[in-house]
Chain A
Amino acid sequence: MEPLNVYASRLVTKKEHFTPGHKACQGCAEALAVRLVSKALGKNVIVANATGCMEVISTTYPHTSWEVPWMHVAFENTGAVISGIEGGVKALVRKGKLPERNTVFVGMGGDGATCDIGFQALSGAFERGHDIVYVCFDNEAYMNTGIQRSSSTPFGAKTTTTPDGVKTHGEVHWKKNMPKIAVAHNIPYVATACPSYPLDLIRKVEKAAKMKGPAYVHILSVCPTGWRIPTKDAIWIGRLAVETGVFPLYEVTDGKYDLTFPDLELKPVKEYLSPQGRFKHFTPGLYEVFQKQVTENYEKLKSRIYL
């Protein structure tokens, strides 16, 4: 996989639908992920975007980075907005008021918009079976408002609302397993991805777009600003998240699990955690607790592969 990724830029389309000039921080892997998702989706798409970093950095009036139809309504309703877009087009096509052209309807949101405040609207969209792709860009906290914890923040991570104090040391809860919750809705396709693996990400988004019914892609999006790492390290840290098993890459097609890198020998989680400022306060004890949970989760995931 390593050599392939080096040549990734030559293997994908040069056409950009999420264009440069936006206001993302230096080294933002989320903006990179949005760019790759947009390449994978092409032009025949309508996007509904939740409030958050990506909306704020890309659409300061009168500028826009979007060369595809794009709509933002609010923070917590993207699952519903994209349901309405899909439903409206479906009705108009059926009634002969619009031509049938197989447009892909895509909802996008951060981890807060997906796992917390927009959770109900997204669950509703999954349950009703709309023909949509929902992409969660998970940077593991409310970065846009200044790095506050979300339910997707990993155990132990320091944020501005989970500080390292005398009584508690960073986030006290384990990260919510959103892909597993998506799978529980019995939707046809769920995948995890990371822009450190661009070809894999593009392939999964293309597959999600082809699926009939709801598809969910959960993308780990390294945030140098919030994770307290040098901007040059975003890609490297994303790879370590995968290589240590902290963020395993897999896909679930019609309920069938597949690991993207089935033969991966996991590196110790410390290699992933220690370069990040948000885990700087970690003691050997905390590393041990973290390692134990990651190993256990990974074993559980592998056991589902062979079901």
Chain B
Amino acid sequence: MNRITRRNFVVSVGALSAATSVLGWPALGQARATGGRVVVIGGGFGGATCAKYLRRLSTDIEVTLVERDSKFVTCPFSNAVLGGLYDMDFITHDYKALRDDYGVKVVHDSAVDIDPDAKKVRLAGGSSLQYDRLVVSPGIDLRWDAIEGYDEAASKTMPHAWKAGEQTTILRKQLEAMSDGGVVIIAPPPNPFRCPPGPYERASLIAHYLKNNKPRSKILIFDAKPKFSKQPLFEQGWQELYPGMIEWISESDGGAIDGVDVKAMAVKPTFGDPQQGDVINVIPPQKAGMIADVAGLTNDSGWCPIDQRTFESRVQKHVHVIGDAAIATPMPKSGFAASSQGKVCAMAIVASLSGQDMPEPSYVNTCYSLVGPDYGISVAAVYRLGDDGIAVVEGAGGVSPKGANTGFRLAESRFAEGWYQSITADIWG
């Protein structure tokens, strides 16, 4: 060791003092190295949340978000756009805050393949991204082979509008162009599918638009299911707000359709006569987004089996799947659930990369549906990890009370909008 002079010592201490003054005394003691590269595929409710929360938890982790589009249009509140309550701008978000404020590297490209051995994601643009942990949040893809005659081309005439954006605009324009006295058909799929109450909120808000603009029109719901989410509440709301306008045909009454005729503008139920419509919204059965399938992360069900504590794939190590694509039963395939999973997954990854214990997971779902502009209903659930995976906390959650007064429904409609503003700010803001 060199001879220490008093001068050297004082200089060193001075330098230390200066350095720490500049930095405001950053942690010397307990900050652990949490470096690592995380690639997130998909910038929707699950992926964007996960990317943001990873960076909130550790600025040492390099997070790259791969998202095809420069703007994200949310499915939540797209029904309100269809009903004419909001415009497309309200449900459109970008990645500026994630990039500028949180230091997420946003790459607008599509992931075409995953090499789990080399830990690489190949992009359509030709480049590859190396990862230590990969988060796959691809949402859903539609099963184009499930309903005879209903393929991607048919969806230009009979929009599904189950991925918001251009499809939402097509359906809205068709509703605007329809004449009074027209028939709107909505054909929801069997379970499981994205946003269980979505088709019925859609029927409600289209009814709101028709009541005010084309009051002689009707809505027929050809359902592949014997019952649906928040059913008593929706039916009560329809009775109060749109009496006689919405008819729900259950699977047992011939509601399930197995084909469409695009030229004749008709749906073909499994039994009974074809039904013609002026506007037809077919919501086909779904599966995990394509990249999950290509990377072999799905099982026979078309969805991705995961460890429900960390969301790590049961098939590939160091690959996590969150959101609609994951099998996270009993959590629904909702944007809010995907976001909750994104947070738990971010904590699992930071814990793993930094060698810390992961806190016991806590998951939540809160979904509002608008039956009318001043008529909101909600469903909530709190989840914990049980012996067999994610479990509902008994005694908590549930739907809005059935006999609530108009003040309660009005409050929930305002909270629905507040919910949307909060969650989208929590994700993209």
The answer to whether A and B belong to the same complex is no
Residues of B within 8 A of A (CB): none
Residues of A within 8 A of B (CB): none
